[in-house]
A = this chain, B = another copy of it.
Amino acid sequence: MRIFLDCIPCFVRQALDSARLATDDERIHEQVVREVLRLAADLDMSQSPPAIGQQIHRLIRKLIDNNDPYRELKQRFNRLALRLCAELEERVRTSEDPLETAVRLAIAGNIIDLGVKTSIEESDVARTIRDCLTADFDNQQIEEFRNAVSQAGKILYLADNAGEIVFDRLLIEQMPTERITLAVKGGPVINDATIEDAEFAGLTEMVEVIDNGSDVPGTILETCSQAFRERFEDADLIIAKGQGNYETLSDADKDIFFILKAKCPVIAGDLGCEVGEMILQRSNSRNGVVDSVKEAE
């Protein structure tokens, strides 16, 4: 998915939010905003939004001289998610369709996306969980997902954010863990999950965990390590969590299930859904065009 003009004011706002989160120094806030404006003025609009996200957050980390400004927030959301998931794990196990319940909760966890909105409260997460457990959901997509998972030999699960990754564990537990590899980011960017978050969530004891060698808040293969690219190529099925992975892989020629909450109007427009909708959507692996849920009905 390419950058839309509507993304640009949002990039500037995101950069300002991130700069404020990282430091109280207003001169740096201003410097970040001015640099991002310059960067955006000459932007190659054929890139995907996370490509500029990578540049913006590299710039912020450099200007504030802090390699991981979201570290504390990532830990806070990991702890919150772990507290919430202790009870939710039981709920998944005892539900009528554990896989569906786990998919719903994995989508709920995608609310913990500090790229879209810097201030997320515990009450937002709790409300999203309630909403996702009861909202309408396309049953056909769940069945297709169930079949794809049962048939795939090698499954590559692309994690999204810290905190959210604890919710991903609920879903991974409902799948054949011996066939799953979980991939996290190669370095800190926004609140995206890295290896230490996977460890905290207990996922390193459950599945093979690798990092993708990249600091893009999504998955741009050209920026990933050779080892990751081989695993991506080799996988029979990709499960891609979150907006950033959708933005960067929606045109990929691969069998991918995108699992996310559509949180911005541009992505909702691209998906043909409403803002706030739960998305479990399969790419068309033959030509890289994503089938919309609505078209599939």
Q: Interface digits, A29-43 against B, CB 8 Å rule (1 contact, 0 not)?
A: 110011001101111
Query: Which residues of A, 1-51, contact B by the 8 Å Cβ criterion?
Result: 5-6, 8-10, 12-13, 16, 29-30, 33-34, 37-38, 40-43, 45
A42 contact set on B, CB distance < 8 A: 34
Residues of A within 8 A of B (CB): 5-6, 8-10, 12-13, 16, 29-30, 33-34, 37-38, 40-43, 45
Taken together as a complex, chains A and B put the C-alpha atoms of A33 and B9 apart, in Å, by 9
Taken together as a complex, chains A and B put the C-alpha atoms of A103 and B10 apart, in Å, by 36
Contact B12 A16 (CB under 8 A): no
Contact B5 A9 (CB under 8 A): no
A8-B12, A9-B13, A38-B41 given; name 10 further pairs at CB < 8 Å.
Answer: A5-B30, A5-B33, A8-B33, A8-B37, A9-B9, A9-B12, A34-B41, A37-B38, A37-B41, A38-B38
Q: Is the interface of A mostly helix, strand, loop or mixed?
A: helix
Taken together as a complex, chains A and B put the C-alpha atoms of A24 and B34 apart, in Å, by 29
A30 contact set on B, CB distance < 8 A: 5, 45
**What's the nearest-Cβ distance from chain B to residue A252, in Å?**
26
- The 8 Å CB contact of A5, one of B8, B16, B38, B41, is B16
Taken together as a complex, chains A and B put the C-alpha atoms of A38 and B36 apart, in Å, by 10
A29 contact set on B, CB distance < 8 A: 5
Instruction: Identify the closest chain B residue to A30 (Cβ).
Output: B5
**What's the nearest-Cβ distance from chain B to residue A186, in Å?**
29
Contact sample, A vs B, 13 pairs, CB 8 Å cutoff: A5-B33, A6-B16, A8-B12, A9-B9, A9-B10, A9-B12, A9-B13, A9-B16, A34-B41, A34-B42, A37-B37, A37-B38, A37-B40
**What's the nearest-Cβ distance from chain B to residue A47, in Å?**
14
Taken together as a complex, chains A and B put the C-alpha atoms of A6 and B118 apart, in Å, by 14
A16 contact set on B, CB distance < 8 A: 5-6, 8-9
